[in-house]
Every structure is written in C-alpha cells, then in structure tokens.
C-alpha cells in the first residue's frame, strides 16, 4: 500500500510546487511521472504477491475513516496513468509554451490516482469534482476560442456531479453506509436503490461522455491544446467509467443488473454507430479524433452491459483491455494529429493531402494508432475486440450484437482510412514544411506500445481473467 501512496503523493507535491514556482515544468513532470510509474509498478508487484490491501486514513474507525484500497486492477490503472502521463509530458516538454500546463497536469495525475484508490461513494464525488475542475482549466489553456467549450463542459459536469451526489444521498439515507465494499453486501433491489442507481449512472454517463450524453466532449477535446486533448481522451473519461463499472459489477443488487445491463449494451451499440458516423463526417482533424473517442467508449459500455446481462467474465477482461488499448492508441492519435496540425498550419482534414510524404512519421503514428482502434491484429484493440466477440458467436440470440460490433468495425475503418487515403495522395508542390523529427517519434511511441500489447497477449489475458472480478 505504501508504494501506491507514494505514487499518489509524488505528482501531488510536484503539482503544488509547480503552482508556486512555475519554472522548468517539463523536466520536473517527466521526472515525477517516472518516479510515480516506478512506485506504481512496485505496488502492482506487491499487491499481486500479497493480495488486496486497505488503509484507513487518520486512524479513525471503519465507516468513519476514508478508506483507500488497493487491488490488482487499481494498481494496474495507477501504473497506466503514470505511463500515459510520462509519454505525454515527454512529447509536450519539447513543444509547450505555457508553464500553467505542468502544474495542472501533475494535479490531474494525482486526482486520478486518488480516484483509483478510493473506495467510497462520497470520496468518488470529491475526486470526480477535482477531475472536472482540473480538466476544465486545462481546456481553457488554449486561449479565447476554448473558453466557451470549457464553460459548457464545466456546467455539464457540475450538473452530472449533482445527479451523482443526490444518488449518494439516497443510498446513505437508505443504508447509512458509503463504503462500496460494505454496501455490496447490503443492497437490495427496492425502489430507492433503483432510483439512486439511475441518478448515479446518469451522472457518470455525462462525466464519461457516454452516448447520448456526450455532446460536451467533441468541442472541449478538439479545442484544447494537443497534450491536454491526449490526456483528457486517454485518461479523464476513464475515471467515471471505472466508478460506473465498480458500481454495477459489485454494488448493484441482482434484481437491477439485468435491466441496467440491457440499457448499457443498447447505448453502447448506438455510441459505436453514431459516434463513428460523426467521426467519419466531420471536416476537422482533431474533432474527428474526439468523436472517435465517443465511439470507442461504446465498446466499454457494451462490454459492461454484456457482463451484467449474461454474467460473462470474458467481457470484463475485454473492458479493461479496451481501457488500456484505447488510452495508448488515443494518446498517439491526438499527439500525431496535433503534430500534423502544427506542420501544415491547418485544422482541416483536407490539409493532410500528401502527408505520407511530407510528415511520414507522424502520419505513420496516426495510422498505427488507427489500426488499433479499428481492431486490426496484432494490436491491443484486436485482443479486446476478439474477447468481446467470442462469447457473442456461441449463442444465436446474441448474433445481432455481434453483427453490430462488426458493423462498427467497418465504420471505424472508414474514418481511419479516410485520413490514410488522403495522406497517400500526391503532395502539392511547395516548400517543404518544417518538421520536428524527435517529437514525431515521441508521438509514435504510445502506438508502438499498444501493438506491443499483442506480444504479451496470453499472459496479459490470463492475468486479467484471474484478477478481474
């Protein structure tokens, strides 16, 4: 547990320090996320060796104290957050011209770490609020154009938090407990529990930009600075998803899971198709990547829904694999998109004509990340999709869903290949744009990691099957 707390405190103190002395932010954040990553990996090894751990803060008795708990999945997410943070800050320390970013990025990292480690409903509310305050400020860093989307994001996420908080109030009024592990042994399927689950689910769906409550995401994610878009898409939307998953898989009473699962699965299918279609149609490059996030989150919802409806354990493994693969792929995609946007000085998709000749490495990063989003073997995205599809084929009743997943694969192939075809057109003659080779390679790095996931696929899947519950 100590290593996990270290992994949480390093970015927290770095963030506070950088707020006071905003100088040399880049190197400091790279250093702090490396250390935090090392501590998170150590905590992962520790928790795998010696089982789940918990600590009660401040020496208060149970039910009163804030309890932090560590399970293999939490430790994995802790390491994943630090890794993405490291990759993004490596890229951004070459390009950043605003010192405000670094303090906020560190605080974002600390908030996410706190979210993974907390285990009671109210603490999650606090971390969710912190998460949205930090992300809204980061979106607004891009200047005048991004303030309106940032404000809209803030209001919607406040609305969502208040829905969630009312749900928490109902749960506390009914059971008198906030710790979800204790609640998971107590909940019964009565009206007030159903009401509370509904309110909390709706709140978390707005925060996690799950279709049809995703409308704030594309403007906010596409107007933000490049590194912020990458962090928001790869990490921030996963926070509410994590809480939603824990609420439904562990805490929800048996009577509700069936209906909830059906609802989530149907919404997931719509997210896949509608989000993919919007991504295919939009004229702006970063907005296309942002809509693809909306679509990809549909897989996570679908996996969660199937798990609840048919108690399929494989789909829970698929869910965590989607979270990891999407995080890495989307980081690479946003960084590559930002890099190309800088090289060509244009936000539109059509500016990429001939990019395979003028910015080959960045375009390669974009295409490789896109391959994982489509689910081409051998990538992390392929593993997750295969695990999701396999149980769908066994039962005739589930074939419509399998068909929907295959159709969504086609849609995602369409929006990725739309860019790739443009890039392979002949470039217009003109002066060669200025390129920064190192930052192009840094944008490629996360995409290579996601394809690397396929190399360790068997141990990864077996391990996740053992620890996912």
Partner 1 sequence: MTDTLLFYLLVASFLWAAGLHGLIVARHVLRRVIAVNIMTAGVFLALVTLAARAPEPDPVLHALVLTGLVISVSATALALHLGTAAFSTEKPEPTTR
C-beta of 7 vs 193, nearer to partner 1: 193
166 near partner 1, judged by CB under 8 A: yes
Asked if residues 156 and 216 have their Cβ atoms less than 8 Å apart, the reply is yes
Distances (CA, A) of 241 to 104, 118, 204, 207, 360: 22, 14, 7, 9, 35
Q: Minimum Å distance from CB 450 to partner 1?
A: 26
64 near partner 1, judged by CB under 8 A: yes
96 near partner 1, judged by CB under 8 A: yes
C-beta of 17 vs 177, nearer to partner 1: 177
From 162, 188, 455, 456, residue interacting with partner 1 (rule: CB under 8 A): 162
C-beta of 153 vs 322, nearer to partner 1: 153
Nearest to 468 by CA among 123, 110, 77: 77
Q: Minimum Å distance from CB 152 to partner 1?
A: 9
From 29, 76, 117, 165, residue interacting with partner 1 (rule: CB under 8 A): 165
DSSP, collapsed to helix, strand or coil, labels residue 179 as: strand
In this structure, what DSSP letter does residue 374 have?
A: H
Q: Minimum Å distance from CB 123 to partner 1?
A: 10
Spell out, one character per residue from 285 to 324, where the chain touches partner 1: x when CB under 8 A holds, - when not. Answer: ----------------------------------------
Distance CA 336, CA 314 (A): 32
Distance CA 288, CA 221 (A): 10
C-beta of 16 vs 162, nearer to partner 1: 162
Asked if residues 239 and 80 have their Cβ atoms less than 8 Å apart, the reply is no
Map tokens 């068909």 to a residue. Answer: 403
* 329-348 binders of partner 1 (CB under 8 A): 342
* 112-151 binders of partner 1 (CB under 8 A): 122, 125-126, 129, 133, 136-137, 140-144, 147-148, 150-151
Count of residues touching partner 1 (by CB under 8 A) = 37
C-beta of 173 vs 377, nearer to partner 1: 173
Q: Minimum Å distance from CB 242 to partner 1?
A: 20
Distance CA 156, CA 341 (A): 29
The whole-angstrom distance between residue 97's C-alpha and the CA centroid of its chain comes to 25
| R_g of the chain, CA atoms, integer Å | 21
Within 13 Å, how many C-alpha atoms sit on residue 357's CB side?
Answer: 12
Distances (CA, A) of 351 to 142, 289, 340, 348, 422: 21, 15, 9, 6, 9
Q: Minimum Å distance from CB 161 to partner 1?
A: 8
Can you read off the two tokens belonging to residue 447? 């995409």
C-beta of 199 vs 209, nearer to partner 1: 199
Q: Minimum Å distance from CB 66 to partner 1?
A: 11
Backbone dihedral region of 65: left (phi > 0), alpha (psi from -120 to 50 degrees) or beta? beta
Distances (CA, A) of 251 to 245, 257, 424: 10, 10, 50
Q: Minimum Å distance from CB 337 to partner 1?
A: 13
DSSP string computed for 245-263: HHIIIIIS-HHHHHHHHHH
Strand (E) or helix (H) holding 69: strand 67-70
Q: Minimum Å distance from CB 387 to partner 1?
A: 38
173 near partner 1, judged by CB under 8 A: yes
* 174-193 binders of partner 1 (CB under 8 A): 178
C-beta of 243 vs 384, nearer to partner 1: 243
Question: Count of residues for the chain?
Answer: 469
**What residues contact residue 148 under an 8 Å CB cut-off, 6+ apart?**
none
52 near partner 1, judged by CB under 8 A: no
* 371-410 binders of partner 1 (CB under 8 A): none
* 194-233 binders of partner 1 (CB under 8 A): 225-226
Tell me if the bond preceding 54 is cis, omega within 30° of 0: no
Q: Minimum Å distance from CB 22 to partner 1?
A: 12
From 97, 185, 426, 429, residue interacting with partner 1 (rule: CB under 8 A): 97
Backbone dihedral region of 271: left (phi > 0), alpha (psi from -120 to 50 degrees) or beta? alpha
Q: Minimum Å distance from CB 151 to partner 1?
A: 5
DSSP, collapsed to helix, strand or coil, labels residue 339 as: helix
From 17, 38, 169, 194, residue interacting with partner 1 (rule: CB under 8 A): 169
Q: Minimum Å distance from CB 112 to partner 1?
A: 17
Within 13 Å, how many C-alpha atoms sit on residue 33's CB side?
Answer: 26
Q: Minimum Å distance from CB 145 to partner 1?
A: 8
154 near partner 1, judged by CB under 8 A: yes
Binding site for partner 1 (CB under 8 A): 64, 95-98, 100-101, 122, 125-126, 129, 133, 136-137, 140-144, 147-148, 150-151, 154-155, 158-159, 162, 165-166, 169, 172-173, 178, 225-226, 342
């Amino acid at each position: 547990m100590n290593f996990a707390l270290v992994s949480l405190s390093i970015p927290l103190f770095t963030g506070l320090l950088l707020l006071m002395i905003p100088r040399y932010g880049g190197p400091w954040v790279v250093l702090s996320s490396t250390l935090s990553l090392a501590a998170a990996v150590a905590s992962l090894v520790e928790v795998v060796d010696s089982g789940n751990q918990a600590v009660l803060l401040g020496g208060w008795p149970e039910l009163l104290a804030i309890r932090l708990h560590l399970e293999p999945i939490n430790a994995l997410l802790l390491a994943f957050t630090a890794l993405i943070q490291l990759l993004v800050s490596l890229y951004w320390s070459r390009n950043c011209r605003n010192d405000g970013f670094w303090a906020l990025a560190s605080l974002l990292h600390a908030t996410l770490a706190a979210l993974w480690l907390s285990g009671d409903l109210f603490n999650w509310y606090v971390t969710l609020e912190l998460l949205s305050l930090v992300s809204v400020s980061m979106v607004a860093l891009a200047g005048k154009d991004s303030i309106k989307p940032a404000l809209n994001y803030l209001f919607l996420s406040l609305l969502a938090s208040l829905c969630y908080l009312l749900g928490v109030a109902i749960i506390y009024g009914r059971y008198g407990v906030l710790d979800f592990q204790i609640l998971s042994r107590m909940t019964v399927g009565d009206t007030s529990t159903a009401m509370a689950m509904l309110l909390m689910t709706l709140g978390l769906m707005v925060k996690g930009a799950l279709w049809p409550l995703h409308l704030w995401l594309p403007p906010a994610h596409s107007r933000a600075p490049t590194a912020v878009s990458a962090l928001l898409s790869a990490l921030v939307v996963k926070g509410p998803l994590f809480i939603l998953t824990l609420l439904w898989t562990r805490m929800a009473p048996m009577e509700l899971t069936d209906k909830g699962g059906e609802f989530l699965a149907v919404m997931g299918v719509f997210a896949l198709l509608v989000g993919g279609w919007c991504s295919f149609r939009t004229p702006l490059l970063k907005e296309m990547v942002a809509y693809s996030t909306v679509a990809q989150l549909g897989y996570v919802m679908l996996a969660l829904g199937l798990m609840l409806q048919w108690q399929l354990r494989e789909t829970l493994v698929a869910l965590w694999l989607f979270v990891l693969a999407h995080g890495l792929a989307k980081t690479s995609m946003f960084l590559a998109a930002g890099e190309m946007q800088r090289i060509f000085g244009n936000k539109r998709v059509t500016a990429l004509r001939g990019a395979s000749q003028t910015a080959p490495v960045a375009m390669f990063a974009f295409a490789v990340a896109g391959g994982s989003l489509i689910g081409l073997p051998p990538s992390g995205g392929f593993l997750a999709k295969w695990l999701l599809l396999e149980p769908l084929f066994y039962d005739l009743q589930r074939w419509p869903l399998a068909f929907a997943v295959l159709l969504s694969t086609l849609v995602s192939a369409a929006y990725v290949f739309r860019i790739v075809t443009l890039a392979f057109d002949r470039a217009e003659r003109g002066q060669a744009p200025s390129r920064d080779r190192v930052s192009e390679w840094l944008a490629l790095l996360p995409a290579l990691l996601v394809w690397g996931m396929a190399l360790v696929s068997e141990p990864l899947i077996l391990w996740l099957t053992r620890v996912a519950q």
